[in-house]
Structure 1
Amino acid sequence: MTYGVAGDAVPSDGLTVGAAASLVGVTVRTLHHWDSTGLVCPSERTAGGYRLYSASDIARIHRVLIYRELGLPLDGIGELLDAQTIDTTEPLRQQRDQLVERIAHLQGMVKAVDRLIEAKNAGLLLSAEEQVAIFGTDWQPSWVAEARERWRDTDQWAQYAERSAARTPDDWRQVAAANSALDDDLAAAKRAGVIAGSPEGNALAERHRASIGEYFECTHSMHVCLGRKYVADPGFTAHFDALEPGLAHWLRDLVNANAVAQGINPDSATWS
């Protein structure tokens, strides 16, 4: 917003509402409203009854605009302008404190947006050393870059980046610990002979799907697609079978059976 300065020349016979509005940079409708509420009333009228704003009226308008820029409500502005004896610095101090709080809030939002941008570009806001310390010596930091190049334009990568931006190293330690416990429980369940499609098997499949949900929303259909990769991708197969021989195929069967219970045909499931 731009408006004239207090020293702008005002004719001795005053300014019409249109001329006053043009001078200070507000609308005629605004001045009409301020007149009706008593905030700024023109001191004079023409013979035909039209409003005329004097130099003091224009000065009052400027003070209203300054207070409004500071965020003070119009009714509070009117009280400040009309009070002759009260100390007007206290409301201004209060407004300054509110502005400082707002600035701090906005600065926090800027930092959050910066982290989100960094997470979307980097994938994981952890150094290579932190990644290995948290996820184990088998972890390869290059995997994050490979995933970014492959999935960076997908909704899932956007979700992953948003969640990554909000996580601290301690948060990631909790995620890693939960995943490690899940791997142990899956291996133990296979050794115990848990059957795909059983209540216990479906519960484990849902728990595994929830673990994927720590990174992005994983539907049952998407879960089936991941299960296929567990047996088709040598890296995934090696990871699971190192925990328990045959675990990759067993987990795939567990996921498929759970999907069937949810009305999904594993043979035609897609990434959706």
Structure 2
Amino acid sequence: MPDDTAADGLTVGEVSKRLGVTVRALHHWDEIDLARPSLRTAAGYRLYTSGDLERLHRVVVYREIGLGLDRIAAVLDDTTTDVTGALRAQRTQVAERIERLQQLGDGLDRMIDAHERGMLLTVEQQASIFGPRWNPDGPAEARQRYGDTTQWRQYAERAATRGPEEWQAVADATAGLDRALGEAMDGDVAPGSPEANRLVERHREVFSAYFPLTRQMQVCLGRMYEADPGFAAHYDGIRPGLARWFRHAVDAAARAHGVDPDTAAWE
């Protein structure tokens, strides 16, 4: 605490600068009789003594640790108040607040990491979950390509909360869908049929692990699955011609919901 022995006669503005509190706060504390200036000039202006400043220092300290003004007044003026108990209780609240803030900070770190890396898994974890054909550079390449999009932000928000078990569930759901698509082709399921439409809807549900997928966006994905060599190789590796079949199934389901595949856009 600074030496305030020569502080008698300080104005509100001077005290405000010394303590780093607003003039408005000082006026309020005066009005509620929490910390009043002991002196007045002939013109009626407030002047604070060194004793007033000492009390104000205590008010500021107690306010900084989170005590309300009524509680501060009791600590300062009520001789029956258990000051130590009040401070211990406030210390407990501060510790709880620090823990919450630490958790928030950890969550923000994960969010930042997810935005930058795309997936918070080691290379070994990725290979174990997604299989040996998985490209561990894929998330970073996707960020390079889509990092400025709304969908990447939505994906990162989901990825930030996922550990290996959650990603395993996503991988299992995707593998299950792939098997179902292959079995549909084996069973000569026709695009536009109720069974095919259910599979298209299932694809939207599974894909929501990454970001929300509208029907128009799904049409765009269906076309990419057929046209992109990497995606086409994946689906056609399940069943020859599956990429094309799935694109037709998506288009038919879109039409059933009033979406024209020929004009569908990524929105």
TM-score by length of 2: 0.90
Distance of aligned partners of 1:50 and 1:235 in 2 relative to their CA distance in 1, 3 Å threshold = closer
For the 8 Å contact 2:4–2:53, the answer to whether it is kept is no
1:271 aligns with 2:266: yes
Distance of aligned partners of 1:26 and 1:137 in 2 relative to their CA distance in 1, 3 Å threshold = closer
Q: Partner residue of 2:4?
A: 7
Question: How big is each residue's C-alpha offset from its partner over 1:220-268, in whole Å with a ceiling of 9 and x where there is no partner?
Answer: 1111111011211232222222222322111111111111122221112
Which of 228, 248, 257 is matched with 1:253 structurally?
Answer: 248
- How far is the alpha carbon of 1:44 from its aligned partner? 4.1
For the 8 Å contact 1:220–1:264, the answer to whether it is kept is yes
1:110 aligns with 2:105: yes
Q: Which moved more, 1:131-140 or 1:165-174?
A: 131-140
- How far is the alpha carbon of 1:204 from its aligned partner? 1.3
Which of 73, 81, 104 is matched with 2:76 structurally?
Answer: 81
Aligned residue type for 1:84: T
CA–CA separation in structure 2 for the residues paired with 1:60 and 1:121 = 50
Q: Partner residue of 1:124?
A: 119
CA–CA separation in structure 1 for the residues paired with 2:178 and 2:162 = 22
Q: Which moved more, 1:47-56 or 1:235-244?
A: 47-56
Distance of aligned partners of 1:192 and 1:42 in 2 relative to their CA distance in 1, 3 Å threshold = same
Structure 1 segment 1-272 matched on structure 2, within 5 A: 5=2, 7-11=4-8, 14-46=9-41, 49-272=44-267
Aligned residue type for 2:190: I
- How far is the alpha carbon of 1:147 from its aligned partner? 2.1
Q: How well do the aligned residues superpose, as a CA RMSD in angstroms?
A: 2.1
For the 8 Å contact 1:229–1:236, the answer to whether it is kept is yes
CA–CA separation in structure 1 for the residues paired with 2:140 and 2:26 = 59
- How far is the alpha carbon of 1:47 from its aligned partner? 5.1
For the 8 Å contact 2:37–2:52, the answer to whether it is kept is yes
CA–CA separation in structure 2 for the residues paired with 1:37 and 1:259 = 67
* Structure 2 gap ranges (5+): none
Question: How big is each residue's C-alpha offset from its partner over 1:145-182, in whole Å with a ceiling of 9 and x where there is no partner?
Answer: 33232222222222222211210000001111111111
Distance of aligned partners of 1:16 and 1:144 in 2 relative to their CA distance in 1, 3 Å threshold = closer
- How far is the alpha carbon of 1:121 from its aligned partner? 2.1
* Structure 1 gap ranges (5+): none
CA–CA separation in structure 2 for the residues paired with 1:165 and 1:16 = 53
CA–CA separation in structure 2 for the residues paired with 1:218 and 1:8 = 70
Q: Which moved more, 1:63-72 or 1:212-221?
A: 212-221
For the 8 Å contact 2:219–2:254, the answer to whether it is kept is yes
- How far is the alpha carbon of 1:18 from its aligned partner? 4.2
Count, aligned residues: 267
For the 8 Å contact 1:42–1:57, the answer to whether it is kept is yes
- How far is the alpha carbon of 1:81 from its aligned partner? 0.5
Q: Which moved more, 1:65-74 or 1:34-43?
A: 34-43
Q: Which moved more, 1:49-58 or 1:85-94?
A: 49-58
Distance of aligned partners of 1:77 and 1:270 in 2 relative to their CA distance in 1, 3 Å threshold = same
For the 8 Å contact 2:74–2:81, the answer to whether it is kept is no
Aligned residue type for 1:154: T
- How far is the alpha carbon of 1:8 from its aligned partner? 4.9
Aligned residue type for 2:127: V
- How far is the alpha carbon of 1:217 from its aligned partner? 2.0
CA–CA separation in structure 2 for the residues paired with 1:226 and 1:24 = 61
For the 8 Å contact 1:24–1:62, the answer to whether it is kept is yes
CA–CA separation in structure 2 for the residues paired with 1:114 and 1:69 = 27
Question: How big is each residue's C-alpha offset from its partner over 1:132-154, in whole Å with a ceiling of 9 and x where there is no partner?
Answer: 21112222223333323222222
- How far is the alpha carbon of 1:22 from its aligned partner? 4.4
For the 8 Å contact 1:6–1:59, the answer to whether it is kept is no
CA–CA separation in structure 2 for the residues paired with 1:128 and 1:15 = 65
Q: Work out the percentage of aligned pairs sharing the same amino acid.
A: 52
For the 8 Å contact 1:5–1:62, the answer to whether it is kept is no
CA–CA separation in structure 2 for the residues paired with 1:20 and 1:238 = 74
CA–CA separation in structure 2 for the residues paired with 1:21 and 1:196 = 75
